[in-house]
Chain A
């Protein structure tokens, strides 16, 4: 804790960039033929946005020292509800493209409102009933996943319209559509955190909740808003996820929870609250996706990759520990 703290934030980003470059170089050397292909990068552009948005959501919940373990549940619930909506409304009908587009827009609104509702429930439990975020979101994670099961009955919901699939697989001006969404979301959240009342207040609350109350910050309202935001972001991730798979299921993206925590921490977020940056999280998710695609090229199984993510999370926390003690000794 000293003058160099702010320099250290940039150091963190630099470190991350170095790690990313290292990953990139290693993979390029090990498997130049497969790794350095355009197709490989293009597929990363399609797959990383959903995880990236979930990680940004996780980061926002960590800003106030909380955590949101229900993000994956919210994402799936959004996709499933939209799916049920399409299946029931468009069954047996042939609709004009315009009508279809309207339906898809309605579906998007429906999915987003699921995120808002879910976030409101989490926010209510945490700020009004004052349940610790870990337990509250653990409970709602069960609840949301449970509702997914009840609605879908278990198997994947299929029958999404083509426009929905476009959200996950389409291209705009030659750029992967999920990437476009990610860029907008990331820029929006970065602006929100850095330049608006909400972001600044969230960081202040995370740094010292008591002092925030005495400074007249509406802490409960702000924390509530942060979980709303987390919920909405999770539902956006859910839209992309179901669009890309063209289906929705209660146990999609189960491994994303750990990865979202990992990326958030890797991106410099302090799990105890008070600091987090969109840029850090973005670089972290790219580094991780490069690594992941490298492993897949080297034919590592998904399970093995889970093993590596777990190890990586611990490693990052240990590195942060050493950085912090070094900083304190300065």
Chain B
């Protein structure tokens, strides 16, 4: 049963099983446009999941990243409209920066006062959402006033197919950004000292301090990067759907954490991988999106997500228990 130890194999097996099942129920699942749209749905959630992975490996938890994503996206686009700026690069930098600074706030409370990360991030999430909706505004920024260059940027495709009836579908180029960030995250976690310090801190914070890791730096790195990724993902999301909604991403925290746990990361810290996380995200997105083609009403989505979370955590709890015996 050694293969059960490798979380990636479990989630991989679950994924294959789910794909086969869905494919049998509705062969339309295997059509290219469905696969493309699935991949597209992975991008934003996957980028956020990379940040959550980092936080879980460090031994923490973060429920504030959806709020940070909205903050990065909404504040940036508001500002762009205010000053009439067009462009892509700097807005993304700004959104990322906003997310990072907010992440630093989490890090400050978690590190300086050794507070429970769940409660800190619940607090900061409430503050950020409250501030956005209460002070900045509650109105949606629709396609008619969305900065055009952002839309153009996010509609870029790697590969387009034109159907006989003239409609067309394609594979979004944003998938490259996701892949690039994932590879970068993998490299950072595996080949840099700061990445290893995240595993060390999640494994045993006291020892990590003793051998000379700077835990303050690691904590700020972890929450800062998670916030930055959220801000970036928020901006990307809004560019891809041509809309900036300050109430967006409600309940996304649970989905993303579920995906990361499904991918084998331990909530106790010290364990988790980028590959597992990507597989976890893909599985969750696929099951959620496939409810429609399996003719299940969309109101069932949350029920299904809830069941997936319970199942995934039950499996990991079972695995951890087996190990400790």
Contact = CB atoms under 8 A, between A and B. Distances in A.
Interface of A: 67, 125, 129-132, 134-136, 138-147, 149-150, 153-154, 255, 258, 261-262, 265, 271-272, 300-311, 313-314, 317-318, 321
Interface residues of B, number: 48
B134 A258 contact: no
B144 interface: no
Residue from A67, A258, A271, A272 with most neighbouring chain B CB atoms (10 Å): A258
Given A311-B127, A313-B123, A321-B114, A135 B313 contact: yes
Interface in B103-139: 109, 113-116, 118-120, 122-135, 138
A135 B267 contact: yes
Interface string B33-45: 0000000000000
B69 interface: no
Contacts of B317: 129-132
- Interface-centre pick from A138, A301, A309 (highest chain B CB count, 10 A): A138
A140 B310 contact: yes
B119 A142 contact: no
B305 interface: yes
B129 A306 contact: yes
5 contacts: A142-B254, A149-B303, A313-B122, A314-B124, A317-B119
B313 A146 contact: no
Contacts of A318: 109, 113, 115
B133 to A, nearest CB: 4
B300 A146 contact: yes
B123 A311 contact: yes
B306 A140 contact: yes
B299 A314 contact: no
A149 B122 CA distance: 24
Contacts of B122: 258, 261, 310, 313
B309 A134 contact: no
B304 interface: yes
B303 A147 contact: yes
A310 B123 contact: yes
Most B CB within 10 A of own CB, among A132, A135, A153, A304: A135
B116 A271 contact: yes
Given A143-B307, A146-B300, 4 more contacts: A125-B313, A130-B317, A142-B303, A145-B306
A143 B302 contact: yes
A76 to B, nearest CB: 12
Listed from nearest, the 8 A-B pairs whose CB atoms lie closest are: A307-B130, A146-B302, A143-B306, A310-B126, A142-B306, A303-B134, A146-B303, A306-B130
A67 B267 CA distance: 15
Interface string B275-304: 000000000000000000000010111111
Given A142-B309, A146-B304, A149-B302, A134 B123 contact: no
Contact of B115 (A125, A258, A305, A321): A321
B123 A67 contact: no
B306 A306 contact: no
Contacts of A130: 317, 321
A262 to B, nearest CB: 8
A142 B125 contact: no
Contact of B130 (A142, A154, A310, A321): A310
A305 B130 contact: yes
B75 to A, nearest CB: 15
A67 B117 CA distance: 13
A149 B299 contact: yes
Given A146-B304, A150-B303, A308-B130, A136 B310 contact: yes
